[in-house]
Amino acid sequence: MDVIAYPLYLAPVAQYVRLYSAGRMLLDVDSPYVKQTYRNRAVIAAENGALALTVPVVHNGVQPMRDVRISDHGNWRRMHWNAIASAYKKSPFFDYYADDFRPFYENKIEFLVDFNMQLHATVCELLGLDVPVVELSGDNGAMAEDIRSLAQPVDDCASCCLPYYQVFERRNGFLPNMSIADLLFNMGPEGLIVLRDSVAGNAVR
């Protein structure tokens, strides 16, 4: 079944669990942009617990997601990369994937949608997850599953994904529904197996 989703910043694992068995990802870029969501926020498992990373944007009132530009306010790119490197430098796969992610924090991308979806494409390539992406338009979403609620940090997805190894688990316990970067850096290609088994686990609950 196709799924309707928003383009999120290094989306939480819950979105990728849903994408694992999807036929296509129907991307909603025309709905109004909403602040304080995973559209421009990713949460990683850092040494002291969950850490939110927020991409600053130029938001002019009500505007569709496709028109939202990334702001150059502050040195957010360096701050985000330093936070990611600090959180995952001891993870099994950080050294393997660092060069795939670092350019996103060294080069400027004007629009948030482009930034998010280029990161998404990188994540899917590294995981081996092949789900075509097309824009939501007309009635192509009539029979699709709507997972746009996963953009909301308040959405309860604590049990959506099976637990997996995390660097600071002994210190903080397992932190569920972190950014997909957490699964990738900790589990590497086996992250796809975690997604698969999580889909199976959800089916029997």
Instruction: Give the least confident one: 12-16, 98-102, 184-188, 201-205.
Output: 201-205
Mean pLDDT of 177-199: 96
- DSSP states of 118-151 as a string? HHHHHHHHHHT----EEE--TTTTTTSEE-GGGG
The rounded distance, in Å, linking the Cα atoms of 51 and 9 is: 14
Domain range summary for the chain, segments of one domain joined by +: 3-204
Tens of pLDDT, residue by residue over 64-88, are: 999 999 998 889 999 999 999 999 9
Confidence of residue 159 (pLDDT cuts 50, 70, 90): low
Mean pLDDT of 153-174: 85
> What DSSP character marks residue 153?
T
Mean pLDDT, the chain, rounded, equals 93
The rounded distance, in Å, linking the Cα atoms of 78 and 126 is: 23
Residue scoring higher pLDDT (60 or 68): 68
Q: At residue 2, does pLDDT exceed 70?
A: yes
Please report the pLDDT score of residue 204 as a whole number: 41
The model's pTM is 0.94
Mean pLDDT of 85-106: 97
